[in-house]
Structure 1
């Protein structure tokens, strides 16, 4: 089964929950997050997935939700936090950060309107966050100029990527860019052949954001919603 991240925010709300495992063996944590994924379907989750950092110590739970009002989104966020804190996930990992995002631009090699990936695929995530207190300029990050620069970079320099999408946090001055790669080797080749931190300038217009927290990591997709359905069919 495939999982999708749309290139715009017309129909779906996007959420990312980042966890840092506190146990050596994280397979049990992944299994617990799979159970949460199955529960979220009744809450309106259309697609969900789990990313596991290849070299670091992070787990990301991704969810795409049916569009809802801000008030209902707050209730949903509270329900998800309750799941993570009351479930035994809290004994195996620490919740680092979470947010709902708007997708504002994206590209794919096959012309589809969403980034598509499967269990076993490689994804990279870049993020840039403003550290300036009281900064209210996040709405300007998703400028037409940055969209054009993103499309140019994807088209000319990221041949190993099959798709990419940029997301803007609804709560913080933060941009996240997710790329799906054809192989881990091609992802590494891009990292080694380019200064990916400078490439983050394609995401927002960074003028006026002197204090930035820039992060980058490479993940393996270890689960997408629908995998359990296929496993049951195989049985």
Structure 2
């Protein structure tokens, strides 16, 4: 997703943008990157007023408002961007995040599912959908969605951790252990993975292994 505060690398970096509008856009990103969020917000609002159909400006303003704790304002800007470009996956992902921040998880899921239909190969979107499904308690769906992500990104510990947690909640103990043991290799400082492994070994009636996992979880939490 594009960040309102972190400009993307540009092959023409260092060159002054050609138009006043683009110069203002660059300035808005610079202000946000420096933590001057109020100034950046004002500049983005000016950009939207000057070109109400510009998806970049609407998207960046939406991201910034969400970062500033105004998800309702973010949703308004991002919905406007979606009306202009309904197939923009970046906008859909950002809209989903803002809706999630408001607790509107069903609406957030709808936006992510649309993004997945548009491009099933986008693993970032699918990871976000899997995490949202997990948070909604839809563990079977979460495990299935995250399985796709883990297959495509086998060294990414975060989706694998949530898949392991979902498998645990589904009672699929052996699969959960396999997933979370791999997580301890990918993210060795994650105490939650060790704690859940303790729970899983308790379920297997392996108290010594469970105790070792709980002990490791405590050590990491206290460090």
TM-score for the superposition, normalised by structure 1:
0.25
Bigger relative contact order, structure 1 or 2 (CA pairs below 8 A, ≥6 apart):
1
- Higher relative strand content: 1
**Whose Rg is larger?**
2
TM-score for the superposition, normalised by structure 2:
0.26
- Higher relative helix content: 2
